[in-house]
Each structure stands twice: as structure tokens, then as C-alpha cells.
Amino acid sequence: MTTTAQPIPVETEPKQSRFAFGRKSRYADPGGAHWSVKLAVLLICFFWIVPAFGTLVTSFRTEGDANGSGWWTVFNPAKWDGFTLSNYHDAIVNAKLGEALINSFAIALPATFIPILIAAFAAYAFSFMQFWGRDVIFFALVSFLVVPNLVALVPILKLYSSYGLNGSFPAVWLFHIGFGMSLAIFLFRNYMSTLPREVIESAKVDGASHYATFYRLIIPMSTPVLASFAIFQFLWVWNDLLVALVFIGPGDNAPLTVSVKNNLIGQQGQGWNLVTAGGILTMIVPIIVFLALQRYFVRGLTAGSVKG
């Protein structure tokens, strides 16, 4: 007598966990999230968007409306006089924020691209070249991440004074380049160490030099991490007030942050309508930069988190 083997039933779905929230298991909808997570995200977005929206609305209001009532009164047409573009004209021309905008670009762009170039060279050396003390030097460079830049303000200020650099763009460039280099080398080296070494070995077999390998292979493959650090560095430098105030101060070379503080909020303080217009001018460029490079942002930061 022959018997037919019965197929073993296979569970197509995992069993309901007694720790799962609600009726459905968390395995039923892998892309979903618990209602508490969604609520927390909505609250965070609400508390960020509402002040930003209020700042934007106030920047288009007249001085009387901005100083006499809250921005939410725009939803009641009977209590406000309408929108105006004169705030931006006064901020750009009278408060000289137009010149400050150019100064901010003159400070932020070199302070962003120079450390990227230098740190990329260093990360390539730490990842693909063998030399004495490589790991020790890398550890020493990365250890500077724990040093706060505030402790170096006074010594560097005295050093710059002896060379006549205070009040000039190079003073701010050197400061941001020096304190951004450690993070750049750390991110770039971790990312480059995850790149396939077979490609590098093939380039060596074909007779490619280190410079050719770096420019033709490593740089194109490292675009995500380069863009991620560019976002970080540009935002830090663009939004910086303390370093610019210490090493440049008010004057012809003042960036946007210093000009807004001195020309709109300081002794020459204006109404809220001009202050918010200056704030929008300060925020619009970082927002554009982030939106333009955001697709590289997460990829660049997480690529080197597993293999170091």
C-alpha cells in the first residue's frame, strides 16, 4: 500500500503579534506607520510651517498692519490694507541687503567648495593609498570634530589681527574651511571605502595614475556624499552670524546675517514688515540649495554607515 506525501502547509503571512498596535499586524502593511508616528510628524510640520508662513505673510504687509495686528488677520479682509512689495524694495535698497546678499555668496561658495576639494583628496588617500601612519593621522583629523569652534575664536582673532586679515573674506574662509575639514574627511572616507575596489584595481592594471583614477572614477561615484556635505557646509556658512560678526563685522563686506542684525534689528531697527522681508531673503537661498540637492542627501549620509 502506497501513501501520498501530504504537502506541508506554508504560512504566507506572519501570525498576528500580541504586541502589535491595533487590529492589524505591523507586517500587514510594511509601508505604513502607526497613527502616533503620523500625528507626531504632523505636529512637527505644523509647528515649523506656521511660523514660516507667518513670516512670509508679514513680509508682504504694510508697516501699519504688521505693527498693529497679527499676521493671521489677513484671513479677515476687513482688518488689513492689502499686500505690498515695498518691504523688499526697502530691505534690498535702503537697508543694503542687496550688497549683503552678494557678500554672502562671496563667503559661502569658497568656504563650501575649497574644503570639498581638499577633503576629497585626503579621503582618497586614506581609502586607497598605503602610507606610514595612515590610520593614526585619520584618527587625529577626525578627533577635531569634538573641538567646538567657540574656543578658537579669540586665539584666531588675535592671529588674524597680526596678519591684517580681520574684516576680509579670507578670514571667514579659513575659519570655516578649517572647522569643516574634519567632518568632510570623515564622511568622504567612509563613503569611498564602500566603493568597489575591483574598479580601482582595474584602473591600476590599465595604467591609470592616482590623479586619473580620482577624477575619472572616484569623483563621479562619490557625487552623493559630495552633495550631502555641500548642503551642510553651505547652510552652516550662509546662516552663520557669530563667526561673520567676529571676523568681518558691520561694513562693506558684511553678509546677510550681519546686515539684518545691524540694519533691520539693531539701532536702526525697522518695523516687523522689513525684518521679516530680510528674513525671507536670508532663507530663500538655502531652501533652493536644499531642494536642488536633496535627492543626494540621504544617500550620501547613509552609504558609509555600514562598512567603514
Grid coordinates given for 183: 567632518
> Do residue 223 and residue 80 come from a single domain?
no
> Do residue 134 and residue 277 come from a single domain?
yes
> Do residue 138 and residue 67 come from a single domain?
no
> Do residue 96 and residue 141 come from a single domain?
yes
> Do residue 66 and residue 144 come from a single domain?
no
pLDDT range class, residue 104, cuts 50, 70, 90? very high
Among residues 68, 84, 100, the one where a domain terminates is 84
Cα angle value 241/247/251 (rounded, 5°): 80
Q: Is residue 14 part of a domain?
A: no
> Which segments of 145-196 does DSSP mark as H helices, in order?
153-163, 169-192
Helix (H/G/I), strand (E/B), else coil: 222: coil
CA distance 308 to 306: 6
> Do residue 255 and residue 126 come from a single domain?
yes
Partners of residue 61 on adjacent β-strands: 83
> Do residue 121 and residue 259 come from a single domain?
yes
Looking at the chain, which runs of residues are DSSP E strands?
none
> Which segments of 193-262 does DSSP mark as H helices, in order?
197-205, 210-213, 219-221, 223-238, 242-247, 256-259
Q: Is residue 235 part of a domain?
A: yes
CA distance 59 to 221: 42
> Do residue 50 and residue 126 come from a single domain?
no
Of the two residues 113 and 4, the one the predictor is more confident about is 113
Contact of 153 with 246, CB cutoff 8 Å: yes
Q: Which range is least confidently modeled, 77-81, 120-124, 148-152?
A: 77-81
pLDDT in tens, 261-285: 887 765 445 677 788 888 888 888 8
Largest CA distance in the chain: 104
CA distance 202 to 212: 12
> Do residue 52 and residue 93 come from a single domain?
no
Contact of 107 with 237, CB cutoff 8 Å: yes
pLDDT in tens, 204-233: 888 878 788 888 888 888 888 888 888 889
**Which residues touch 151 (CB under 8 Å, ≥6 apart)?**
none
Query: What are the backbone dihedrals phi and psi of residue 229, each rounded to the nearest 5 degrees, phi first?
Result: -70, -35
How much is the pLDDT for 267?
A: 47
pLDDT range class, residue 107, cuts 50, 70, 90? very high
Containing domain of residue 142, as a range? 88-302
Of the two residues 290 and 82, the one the predictor is more confident about is 290
Q: Is residue 126 part of a domain?
A: yes
CA distance 220 to 262: 43
CA–centroid distance for 230 within its chain:
7
Contact of 251 with 162, CB cutoff 8 Å: no
How many CB atoms within 10 Å of residue 166? 17
> Do residue 180 and residue 255 come from a single domain?
yes
**How many alpha carbons lie under 13 Å from residue 239 in its C-beta half-sphere?**
14
> Do residue 117 and residue 245 come from a single domain?
yes
pLDDT range class, residue 302, cuts 50, 70, 90? low
How much is the pLDDT for 36?
A: 85
Q: Is residue 74 part of a domain?
A: yes
How much is the pLDDT for 300?
A: 59
- What CATH number has the domain bearing residue 176? 1.10.3720.10
Number of domains the chain is built from: 2
Task: Give the residue from 272, 248, 267, 271 showing the smallest Cα distance to 108.
Answer: 248
Contact of 125 with 193, CB cutoff 8 Å: no
